[in-house]
Chains A and B, each alone.
Chain A
Amino acid sequence: MRRLGAFLLALIVLASLAAPWLAPYPEDAVDPLSSLLPPSPEHWFGTDQAGRDIFSRVLYGGQTSLLIAIAVLGSSALVGVALGMTAGYAGGWLRDVIMRVTDIFLAFPALLLSVALAVVLDPTVTTVIVAIAATWWPWYARLSMSVAASVSTRPYVDAARCLGVPAPLIVVRHVLPNSLTPVLVQLSLDAGGVILTAAALSYLGLGAQDPIAEWGLMVEQGQSLISTNWWVVTFPGLAIVLTAFAFNVLGEGLRNALDPRRTVIK
C-alpha cells in the first residue's frame, strides 16, 4: 500500500509540475461558445461553464493544492517544532506558557477557526495558507514537545549539558535530529488533510478565486450542475480524493516503517 501511495503521489506531483507542457489548453483560456461540453477527445474531462478545459485546470489545480500543502505544512512545522522543542527542552514555566497557548488554539474546532480567519481576510490562496497554518501548528508543537521532553532526559543530552554545551546548540544538534521522525510521519499524514481543508475553504468561497485553478473551487463551481453536467464536479473531486488518499496511505506506510513498535515481524 505504501508503494501505491508513493506511486500515486509521484504521479500527481509530476503531472501538476508538468502542467504547462501536459495541459492541452492554458488554465484560463475561456471559450463561452464551447461551454459545458462533455468529455471528448478534444476535451478529455469536458469543459466548464466558461468553456475552459477541465483536464488542463485539474492539472494546474494540482499546483495550487500542492503549493498550499507545502506552505501550510512547512510554516506549521517550523513554528510548531521550534516552540515544541523549546518547551520540551526548557520545561518549567516556559513549557507551561507555550503549552497553554497551544491548548487555546487546540480548543477551537480547526475548520471553524480557519473559516473565521478566512472570512476576516480577503479570499486568496495566501489567506487559505495563513488560515490553515494558524490551526495546524499547535499539533506539531504538542507532538515535538513530548518527544523533545523525552529525548532531553537521554544520557547523551545529559553528557552534552555536563560538557557545557549551550542549550540552543544542544536542542539543534542533539534533541532536534532525534525528535524529527514522528514529526515527519505526521507531516506526510497531514498533507491530505491540508489539501482537503484548503478545498473546503475554497468550496465555501473563502479561498482561491476564479480564474485560479483550484480543486475545491472547481467542485464549488460545478455543484449545481452535478445532475446535468457531471464532469464539471467529478474530475476535480476525484483529484482531491486521490491526492488525499495517496498522502494518507503514504503517511500510514511511513509510520509503520519508522515506528519499531509497529514493525510487523514476519
Chain B
Amino acid sequence: MRWHQGLLVGVVALTLSACAGGQVRGADRSPQPAADTTAPTAQTTQNAQTTPAAQANDKTFVYAPNLDVVTDWDPATSYSNEIIAMANIYESLTRYNAQTQKAEPKLATEWTASADGKEWTFKLREGVTFHTGKPLTAEVAKQAIERTIKLNGGAAYIWAPVKTIAAPDPLTLTFSLKYAAPLDLVASSGYASYIYDPDGVSPDGDKDGGSGPYTIDQWAKGKETELTLKAYDGYWGGWKPEQYRKVAFRVTEQVNTAWQLLQSGEVSFVPRLNPQLFQQASGTQGVQTASTPSFQNLLLLFNTEKLDPEVRQALQHAIDYDGLVAALKGAGVKASGLVPPGLLGHTPGKEPVYDMDKAHELLQKRGFGVDGTELELSLTYAQGDDDQKLLVTLLTSALKKVNVTVKAKPMQWSAQWDQGKKGGQDIFVMYWYPDYADAYSWFYNMFRTEKETSFNLSYLKDKEIDKLIAGLPALTAVDQVKAHEAYADLQRRILDEQAAAAVPYVQTYQRALGADVKGYVDNPAYPNVVFFYDVTSP
C-alpha cells in the first residue's frame, strides 16, 4: 500500500507548483473551442519590445491551439478545429468583413444578383492557380461546389438553396436557386464554401487542393507541433518581405503553459487565456492583447417535451445574468436575444432579467417551489469549460433556494451530444456560432422541428415557428427590413412564448499575441482564425 505515498508527493507538487488550467471546449460543431474571435471594437494594448526568442523565430508564426489542429482534411466535409489551418490553405468566393458587415471579394472579384434573389453571377479572379498547379476556372469551381454538395458532410447544407450551377465562360460562375438566399454571404462561410481542385484533396494531409497563401508543409497527427504550413510562391496576391512565410501550430492544452510560451516568445498567438491571465497579459511587456465581441453565445436549451412552459420561464428568471457577466471579468457581455450584435436580426433591449421572486411564483403555479414538491432537473455541460461551470454553479445555487435540485453533469462533447440526441436531459448547455455571418444558423439548426434530433436540443416542435424559419433566407436576400422583423418575431416566440432557451451572454474573444505581430484583426465570422497572410513582422 505504498503507492499512495507517491500520490501524496503528486498532490503536494500540484498544490505548490503550478499546473495549468485547461480551457477545453468541445472540439466539434457548436461547443467549438471556446475561443475567441475578435474584430471590430478590439481594444488592443501594445507593450512593445520584442523578446529575443521572438526575433529568433525567423518569421515563423506560431499558433498555440488547445486542441487537435486537424480532424478532417477534406475541404468539403471539414467542420471542426481545422478551420484555422483550412482558412489559410483554401479560399472561398467571398470573405465576410466584420467591420463593414458585408461579403468582400476573394476568389470572386464581383457579383450580381437578380431582383428576386434567385439568380447569382460571380466573376472569378484572373491569374489564380491552385497548389496543384491547375488554374482556377469556373468549371473547376463548379466541380468543387458540386462535390461538396454531393458529399453532404459538415456544413454542406449552406448550399441547400442551389438548384444548378453553370460555367458559361472560364471566369463566370452562375447559380440558379430554388429560393432566394444571400449567396454572397453563403459563399463566405468558414466551412464548406471553399473552392478547390478536387484532384488535390488528400485525407492524409500530404497535399492539398487549395488556392490560398499557404500550403501544407508537414502534418504529424498527435505531435506537439502538429502542423506546419509554408508560403505558396504562386499565390495570386504576391508576397512582401515582412509577411510570415512559415506557420507552425503548437498544440498547448494548458492555458498557463501557453501563457508562459507566449512570454518567452516561443509562440506568437494564444487564442484564449482565462480572464485573469488576460488581465495579466495586458500589462506584460512583449505581449499585446486584443479583445473583440464574437458571434458565439452560450445557450441553455430547455427540454420542451418534459418541462412545463412555466418551469422553463422560471429557469430563465433563475439565471443571475449580471452576476455571471461580472464574474466572467470581460470574457462575455450580456446577451439580448438569440442573435449576437453585428448580425441581422439582433434585437437590442431584450436583455433577460434575473428575478427569483418571479421564478418562484412560476414554479408555484405548477405545484413546485418552497412549499411544493421538490423538482429535480438534469443538466449537461462541457467538461473542462470554466465559464459553463460558473453558470452551472450560479444556477444550481439559485434554484436550490426555491426547492429545485439541479443534477449537473460535465461531459465530453460527443457524449453530451449523443445523450442530447436521445432527449436525455432537462437542460442542455452549449455554445453556438454561425457557419456564415447570418443569424439563420441558430434558428435552422436549433429550433426547427427535426424528425431525428440533431441540434434541436430543446426538442421544440412548432409549425408556425418552422414556417417562419423556412422563409428567413429569402427575406434576407430580398428584403432585409422584413427579415429583421421576422427574426424579432421568431425570438419573441422562441424565448418569450415557448421559453425554449435562455441566452446568458455573448462571448468576448480575448487574444494574446507577441508584440512583434502587426496588423492582426480578429474576424468573428471565422472563429479562432488568424489570417496569417494579413499579419506581418517588422
CA A226 – CA B18 in complex, angstroms? Answer: 6
**Least CB distance, B148 to chain A, in whole angstroms:** 38
CB of A224 within 8 A of CB of B255, answer yes
CA A197 – CA B3 in complex, angstroms? Answer: 10
CA A122 – CA B408 in complex, angstroms? Answer: 11
**Least CB distance, A25 to chain B, in whole angstroms:** 12
Question: Which residue of B11, B18, B390 is within 8 Å of A244 (Cβ)?
Answer: B11
CA A234 – CA B23 in complex, angstroms? Answer: 20
CA A226 – CA B15 in complex, angstroms? Answer: 9
The chain B residue sitting closest to A233, CB to CB, is: B15
Question: Which residue of B1, B276, B410 is within 8 Å of A225 (Cβ)?
Answer: B276
Query: What size tier do the contact residues of chain B reach?
Result: 35 or more
Question: In the complex, what residues of A have CB within 8 A of residue B5's CB?
Answer: 193, 248
The A-contacting residues of B in range 307-328, CB under 8 angstroms, are 320, 323-324, 326-327
Question: In the complex, what residues of A have CB within 8 A of residue B393's CB?
Answer: 30, 49-50, 210-211
Question: In the complex, what residues of A have CB within 8 A of residue B400's CB?
Answer: 28, 211
CB of B11 within 8 A of CB of A221, answer no
CA A16 – CA B329 in complex, angstroms? Answer: 33
CB of B324 within 8 A of CB of A32, answer yes
Q: Does B220 interact with chain A (Cβ within 8 Å)?
A: no
CB of B11 within 8 A of CB of A224, answer no
Given A30-B393, A123-B409, A211-B397, A36 contacting B7 (CB threshold 8 A): no
> A87-95, A144-152, A167-175, A184-192: which one contacts chain B?
A184-192
The binding surface of chain B is classed by DSSP as helix
**Least CB distance, B264 to chain A, in whole angstroms:** 14
**Least CB distance, B11 to chain A, in whole angstroms:** 5
Q: Mark A108-122, 1 if CB is under 8 A from B, else 0.
A: 011100000000001
The chain A residue sitting closest to B410, CB to CB, is: A205
Q: Does A223 interact with chain B (Cβ within 8 Å)?
A: yes
Question: In the complex, what residues of B have CB within 8 A of residue A111's CB?
Answer: 3, 7
CB of A32 within 8 A of CB of B4, answer no
Q: Does A40 interact with chain B (Cβ within 8 Å)?
A: no
The B-contacting residues of A in range 196-244, CB under 8 angstroms, are 196-197, 199-200, 203, 205, 209-211, 219, 221, 223-229, 233-234, 237-238, 240-241, 244
Q: Does B330 interact with chain A (Cβ within 8 Å)?
A: no
CA A229 – CA B23 in complex, angstroms? Answer: 16
CA A28 – CA B408 in complex, angstroms? Answer: 15
CB of B18 within 8 A of CB of A32, answer no
Question: Which residue of A50, A189, A238 is within 8 Å of B15 (Cβ)?
Answer: A238
Q: Does A60 interact with chain B (Cβ within 8 Å)?
A: no
Q: Does A33 interact with chain B (Cβ within 8 Å)?
A: yes
Q: Does B389 interact with chain A (Cβ within 8 Å)?
A: yes
The B-contacting residues of A in range 105-139, CB under 8 angstroms, are 109-111, 122-123, 139
Given A110-B3, A210-B393, A226 contacting B324 (CB threshold 8 A): no
CB of B326 within 8 A of CB of A32, answer yes
Q: Does A51 interact with chain B (Cβ within 8 Å)?
A: yes
Given A224-B256, A240-B15, A50 contacting B409 (CB threshold 8 A): no
The chain A residue sitting closest to B23, CB to CB, is: A224
Q: Mark B188-221, 1 if CB is under 8 A from A, else 0.
A: 0000000000000000000000000000000000
**Least CB distance, B321 to chain A, in whole angstroms:** 10
CA A51 – CA B276 in complex, angstroms? Answer: 15
Question: Which residue of B23, B279, B329, B389 is within 8 Å of A35 (Cβ)?
Answer: B329
Max count, chain A CB within 10 A of own CB: residue among B3, B11, B276: B11
Q: Does A29 interact with chain B (Cβ within 8 Å)?
A: yes
CB of B11 within 8 A of CB of A240, answer yes
Q: Mark B1-40, 1 if CB is under 8 A from A, else 0.
A: 1011101101110111011111100000000000000000
CB of B1 within 8 A of CB of A193, answer yes
CA A205 – CA B382 in complex, angstroms? Answer: 12
CB of A33 within 8 A of CB of B410, answer no
**Least CB distance, B177 to chain A, in whole angstroms:** 47
The chain A residue sitting closest to B397, CB to CB, is: A30
CA A190 – CA B8 in complex, angstroms? Answer: 12
**Least CB distance, A62 to chain B, in whole angstroms:** 15
Question: In the complex, what residues of A have CB within 8 A of residue B323's CB?
Answer: 30-33, 51
**Least CB distance, A29 to chain B, in whole angstroms:** 7
Question: Which residue of B259, B274, B280, B320 is within 8 Å of A32 (Cβ)?
Answer: B320
Max count, chain A CB within 10 A of own CB: residue among B7, B255, B259, B277: B7
CA A233 – CA B256 in complex, angstroms? Answer: 14
CA A228 – CA B274 in complex, angstroms? Answer: 10
Question: In the complex, what residues of B have CB within 8 A of residue A32's CB?
Answer: 320, 323-324, 326-327, 390, 394
Given A193-B1, A238-B15, A35 contacting B327 (CB threshold 8 A): yes
In the complex, 10 of the A-B residue pairs with CB atoms within 8 angstroms, ordered by the A residue number, are A32-B320, A32-B390, A49-B393, A211-B396, A211-B397, A224-B22, A233-B15, A237-B14, A248-B5, A248-B8
In the complex, besides A28-B400, A30-B323, A237-B11, 17 extra interface pairs with C-beta distance below 8 angstroms are: A28-B396, A32-B326, A111-B3, A192-B8, A196-B11, A197-B4, A205-B384, A210-B392, A210-B408, A221-B386, A223-B21, A224-B22, A224-B23, A226-B256, A227-B18, A238-B15, A241-B11
Closest 3 CB pairs of A and B: A224-B21, A237-B15, A193-B4
Binding site for B on A (CB under 8 A): 28-33, 35-36, 49-51, 109-111, 122-123, 139, 186, 189-190, 192-194, 196-197, 199-200, 203, 205, 209-211, 219, 221, 223-229, 233-234, 237-238, 240-241, 244-245, 248
